[in-house]
Amino acid sequence: MFRHVAMFRWKPETSTDAVADIVEQLNGLPAEIPQLRAYHFGTDAGINEGNHDFVVVADFDSADDYVAYRDNEKHRAISSAFIAPHAAERAAVQYGF
Amino acid sequence: MFRHVAMFRWKPETSTDAVADIVEQLNGLPAEIPQLRAYHFGTDAGINEGNHDFVVVADFDSADDYVAYRDNEKHRAISSAFIAPHAAERAAVQYGF
């Protein structure tokens, strides 16, 4: 299994509506990217102080399949139009297990 | 499902041996913490620039089970003795899905 993890800290002005739009857009990606084996994203539960605000975890059969997701045109359009304008910080790791 | 994700950026002086020790210690946790449903951690694959160095993804049945993991004595001892001394940056999210 090869996993991609990306975390975001939103800008102070980012609204809950903007985050709902991001969730709606990401929900459409599994239908566009057959390489996705599992795709679970969401907003921090608020249990701990100092956390990032949102995380995306995407599972693939291989690193090549992750790269297909990373470079997918629809995914890149969502990242540019819906996510990047709200991202104050981003942290990411890809790893195999 | 309730998921905990923590990412780390190691200090410049952190050795591969120190990271191997962290992996060895974390490998022992599922035997100590029955609430862990899945536990997959590892070092960044080096595909993208600017990534963090290491990620831990832990899955539970509930937020309460995550808190049991967070507060587990053996887990806290590993965090203090093996991880914290090498962590230059930490980013975390807990979320349900």
The reply to whether B96 touches chain A by the CB within 8 Å rule is: yes
The nearest alpha carbon in chain B to A45 belongs to B95
Predicted confidence band at A60 (pLDDT cuts at 50, 70, 90)? very high
Interface with chain B: mutation pick from A93, A94, A95, A97, highest number of B CBs within 10 Å: A93
The reply to whether A77 touches chain B by the CB within 8 Å rule is: no
Q: How much is the pTM?
A: 0.98
> Token pair 């102070």 is at which residue?
A12
- Residue A45: which of B1, B41, B94 has the nearest Cβ? B94
The nearest alpha carbon in chain B to A92 belongs to B51
pLDDT at A27: 98
Mean of pLDDT over chain A: 98
Are A54 and B93 contacting, i.e. CB atoms less than 8 angstroms apart?
yes
Are A26 and A56 contacting, i.e. CB atoms less than 8 angstroms apart?
yes
The reply to whether B47 touches chain A by the CB within 8 Å rule is: yes
The nearest alpha carbon in chain B to A38 belongs to B97
The reply to whether A88 touches chain B by the CB within 8 Å rule is: no
Predicted confidence band at A77 (pLDDT cuts at 50, 70, 90)? very high
Q: β-strand B2-10 against B54-60: which pairing, if any?
A: antiparallel
Tens of pLDDT, residue by residue over A12-39, are 999 999 999 999 999 999 999 999 999 9
SS3 A61: coil
Are B54 and B19 contacting, i.e. CB atoms less than 8 angstroms apart?
yes
Enumerate the β-bridge partners of residue A6: A56, A92
- Residue B93: which of A2, A55, A63 has the nearest Cβ? A55
In sequence order, what E strands does chain B have?
A: 2-10, 38-43, 54-60, 87-96
Query: Any long-range contacts for B38-42 (C-beta under 8 Å, 24+ apart)?
Result: B40/A1, B40/A3, B40/A97, B41/A95, B41/A97, B42/A95, B42/A96, B42/A97
Domains annotated for chain A, with CATH where assigned, are 2-96 (3.30.70.100)
